[in-house]
């Protein structure tokens, strides 16, 4: 299960809409071992493509060094699909290299890039296997008040 703050989900959706018709991509870092996404980092799609995303290798190296310095890891790796559903493509599965990350996909197809609801889904991808997981959006992380949770 992915638990994520509404502000982060809203930022991911805004990024996907802004970059449409190209795929948007980014990372949400969190404290190492916490499984809590806290720091949203928009990345540039170096492929500048409506059907493929690619992190710029220099930007990605800088991000990983920064996360290392801050004792963080990529908790969420996200990208958008501009013409298809929010489900990992074969290419997405082949590129998934972080076994502990949640892979979040946002679909801006069918006019969702302009307004209306956006399909946001999360997956665990390990060893070429895709498993969809529940996404729980919270207003803020507060371990003492589980009733603040609202499912997507």
Give the pLDDT band (50/70/90) at residue 56.
very high
What tokens appear for 100 in the block? 């502990």
Q: What is the CA radius of gyration of the chain?
A: 15
The alpha carbon torsion through 105, 110, 112, 117 (nearest 10 deg) reads -80
Instruction: Write out the two tokens for 65.
Output: 């060094």
Residue 110's pLDDT is: 86
For the chain, give the percent of residues with pLDDT over 90: 88
Q: Which domains does the chain have, with CATH numbers?
A: 2-151 (3.40.140.10)
pLDDT at 15: 97
Structure confidence at residue 143 as a pLDDT band (50, 70, 90): low
Span 140-145, average pLDDT: 72
Distance, in Å, from the CA atom of 11 to the CA atom of 59, rounded to the nearest integer, reads 19
Buried b or exposed e, range 17-56, using 16+ CB within 10 angstroms: bebbebbbbbbbbbeeeebebbebebbbbbeeebebbbbe
pLDDT at residue 57 in the model:
95
Q: E strands, 2-141, where?
A: 2-5, 25-31, 39-43, 72-81, 102-107, 119-126, 129-133, 135-138
Distance, in Å, from the CA atom of 33 to the CA atom of 23, rounded to the nearest integer, reads 29
Residue 149 half-sphere exposure toward CB, CA atoms < 13 A: 14
Q: What is the pLDDT of residues 60-118, one digit of tens each?
A: 999 999 999 999 999 999 999 999 999 999 999 999 999 999 999 999 998 888 888 89
pLDDT at 147 over 50: no
Average pLDDT, the chain: 93
């Amino acid at each position: 299960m992915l638990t994520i703050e509404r502000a982060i989900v809203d930022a991911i959706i805004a990024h996907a809409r802004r970059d449409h018709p190209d795929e948007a991509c980014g990372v949400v870092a969190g404290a190492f071992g916490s499984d809590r996404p806290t720091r949203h980092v928009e990345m540039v799609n170096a492929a500048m493509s409506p059907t493929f995303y690619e992190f710029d290798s220099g930007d990605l190296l800088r991000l990983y060094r920064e996360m290392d310095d801050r004792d963080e890891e990529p908790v969420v790796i996200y990208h958008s699909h501009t013409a298809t559903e929010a489900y990992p493509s074969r290419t997405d599965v082949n590129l998934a290299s972080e076994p502990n990350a949640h892979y979040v996909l946002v679909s801006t197809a069918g006019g969702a890039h302009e307004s209306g609801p956006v399909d946001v889904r999360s997956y665990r991808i390990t060893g070429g296997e895709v498993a969809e997981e529940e996404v729980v959006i919270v207003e803020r992380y507060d371990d003492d008040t589980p009733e603040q949770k609202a499912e997507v």
